[in-house]
A and B are shown apart, each in its own frame.
Chain A
Amino acid sequence: MKKVQEGDLSKMSLLYERHKRDLFGYFYRLTNNASKSEDMVQNVFYRLLKYKHTYRGDGKFVYWMYSVAQNVWLDLLRKKKFIEYGNDPSNYKELSDKEKNAEDLLIATERKNLLKVALQRISPEKREAIVLSRFQGLKYQEIAKLSNCTENAIKARVHRGLMELKDIMLNLESQ
């Protein structure tokens, strides 16, 4: 990132290649929408390039990247244009068909679909805390700093999120 700040913008492609998969996974798990997630990954890198001078280099690049990613996600929630695909299990199937993601269709079992639906039904804050801690490798302390709250608050968010997830799953399975 230091090289990018010094004007060698081509180095941003190395950072992109290194982190694009994780970042795409982060947004995909939050939105359950592949094309929207791709747009959001691009938006993050756009902001990283535009605001490169604000990177102080006193922490991990990944941490800075996720703070930008979190803002992109919050902007999306604020706009409220975001379509919640998770409210009805049948919606997910429709989304997959639309995206013609053949690989996803093949591997998608009913339980996996329900799990995706359930994850979309818990609040965005709890979902994000779970995704960041479970999949993106961030520690509770780091998530707390990103979210401007205490470590215990994040743990409580994860715990409540998991319990809600379990209840929603049970509910969906019994339908």
Chain B
Amino acid sequence: MKDPKRENCQNAIEALLGQMENESFQEQELEIFCQQYPDCSESLRATYATWQSLEELEVPKSSPVMDAGFYKMLNEFQTEQNKRNQSIFGFISKIFEGPGLKWAVLAGMFLLGMVSGSIFWSGQSGETMAVVEEESLNKVNLSYAKLTSTESVTDRLQGIQMVKEMVELDNRIIEALNRALLNDENENVRLSAIETMLHFTDNPKVRENLIRAIPYQDSPLIQMTLAEVVIALEEKSAIVEIRELLENQALELEVKMKMEETIELLL
């Protein structure tokens, strides 16, 4: 036989849980529940206290290795997709090799071109393209201006974040990111620059800048991060820079061990 008091409390707790899933839930509301269900107030308070205590659970930051792994995987997917597109193009080319079919397909494509061309030119596509290009250029300029801001750390961080949204980087931006990584006095800016550069590791200049920066870093956090980056990128050429860092700087023991381990992994 069911215990009515226990069943009542079960309902009260479920109702409380239903309320607690709203972010706006406050402790005063718990008191209302306790007044409403006096027999269950102990269970209600215990449930709320445990729920609240979970707030103490902290999560560390993920490492740059996770980002490097993701972007490497994304590059592989993109390369695979490009290959597939090329093979479709190859298939169409083969069709053209048959003489009779070739002319029929050509005539069809010519007609299709005429129709789509007239639709294309009757619209505002040219203007739209110009607007898109201008917007993109404005974005690059704004990002560059923020990145090179000498006064505000927030601006520089915003500038770095904006770079992440770009599909390709121009030399100005690559250089500005490199300067941020090498010279910025703020550690968060330097870390953020590394994180953004990881998005563009398919660009040889960006990869090179990440490696070349190693001997110039004096922050243990940045040194360790760059070590993780070169491990993830499997950049053997970074061994020279790591050795240079080991020779020229009095490193913290943990960093020194990490650097030696990195060399071993890369060899």
Contacts and interface: CB of A to CB of B under 8 A. Distances in A.
A69 interface: no
Given A103-B61, A119-B54, A162-B51, 12 more contacts: A9-B77, A9-B78, A12-B74, A14-B165, A24-B66, A28-B60, A41-B66, A42-B66, A107-B58, A156-B14, A162-B47, A163-B47
Scoring B21, B49, B63 by chain A CB atoms within 10 A of each residue's CB, the highest score goes to B21
A44 B233 CA distance: 21
A9 B18 CA distance: 39
Contacts of A130: 54
Q: How many B residues touch the partner, as a band?
A: 35 or more
A159 to B, nearest CB: 5
A42 B14 CA distance: 35
B53 A17 contact: no
A158 B50 CA distance: 11
A70 B74 CA distance: 22
Contacts of A169: 50, 53
Contact of A112 (B17, B47, B57, B62): B57
A74 B78 CA distance: 28
23 contacts: A9-B78, A13-B70, A13-B74, A16-B70, A17-B164, A20-B62, A20-B67, A21-B62, A38-B62, A38-B63, A42-B73, A49-B74, A103-B60, A104-B58, A119-B57, A134-B51, A135-B57, A158-B17, A159-B14, A159-B47, A163-B50, A165-B50, A169-B53
B127 interface: no
B199 interface: yes
A155 B46 contact: no
Interface string A140-155: 1000000000001001
Contact of A10 (B17, B49, B167): B167
A115 B74 CA distance: 36
Contacts, number: 106
Contacts of B60: 28, 34, 101, 103-104
B69 interface: yes
Interface string A10-46: 1011101100110011001100001001100110011
Nearest to B23: A137
Nearest to B199: A13
